[in-house]
């Protein structure tokens, strides 16, 4: 079984905020891969079990707050005795990437992201794939207020493209592997670059 985990904060107050782009990608994956499937509550998370070809797939949205995301991930991984290095993909926001950029990596540090830090601490390793979606740096705005805020109209247009790109990247990761998805999607232009190149 493959696990695709989208990070975010539960509750309507956080819907469509910058910090919840992981939830947004998992929601899109669920609509595409498991239309009509009812989500269940397991592992302190909302989960949908589906298939992608011959591969079983568990879509996971932790329902703890962001900085406790590792609890859900570690419980699911332990229950299914999964190979973390090959079977886990976590989708997250990243203030260090331009808005609309999508980058996949097979491992790495938490980069100051509290959800990623908690997952690494709970699993005891950094060796698992993460799909980072750029949301721009906060600038003069306090970081916590910025990530919990909603996108500007310009950012919303960029994010529409990048969220769909993230869906395709996560799907290819599950169907093939991290290298195949990285080769295809890490070299793609960001939405802003694509717009400039077509003007």
- Which amino acids are annotated catalytic? 19
* Structure tokens belonging to residue 23: 């939830």
CA distance 108 to 126: 6
57 phi-psi bin (left φ>0, alpha ψ -120 to 50, beta other) = beta
What does the buried/exposed string (b/e) look like for 33-42 if buried means 16 or more CB atoms within 10 Å of the residue's CB? bbeeeebeee
Positions of E strands within the chain = 2-6, 40-42, 45-52, 55-62, 88-94, 102-105, 129-134
Give, in degrees to the nearest 5, the angle at Cα 196 between 194 and 198.
70
Look at residue 15 and give its three-state secondary structure.
coil
65 secondary structure, DSSP code: -
């Amino acid at each position: 079984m493959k696990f695709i985990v989208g990070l975010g904060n539960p509750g309507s107050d956080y819907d469509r905020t910058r910090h919840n782009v992981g939830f947004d990608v998992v929601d899109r994956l669920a609509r595409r891969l498991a239309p009509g499937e009812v989500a269940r509550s397991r592992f302190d998370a909302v989960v949908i079990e589906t298939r992608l070809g011959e591969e079983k797939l568990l879509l996971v949205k932790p329902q703890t707050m962001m900085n406790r995301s590792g609890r859900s991930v570690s419980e699911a991984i332990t229950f299914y005795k999964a190979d973390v290095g090959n079977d886990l993909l976590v989708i997250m926001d990243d203030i260090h990437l331009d808005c609309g950029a999508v980058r996949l990596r097979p491992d790495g540090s938490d980069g100051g992201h509290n959800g990623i830090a908690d997952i690494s601490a709970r699993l005891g390793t950094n060796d698992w794939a993460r799909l980072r979606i750029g949301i721009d740096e906060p600038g003069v705005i306090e970081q916590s207020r910025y990530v919990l805020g909603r996108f500007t109209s310009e950012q919303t247009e960029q994010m529409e493209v990048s969220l769909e790109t993230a869906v395709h990247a996560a799907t290819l990761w599950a169907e093939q592997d991290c290298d195949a998805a990285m080769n295809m999607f890490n070299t793609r232009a960001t939405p802003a670059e694509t717009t400039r190149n077509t003007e």
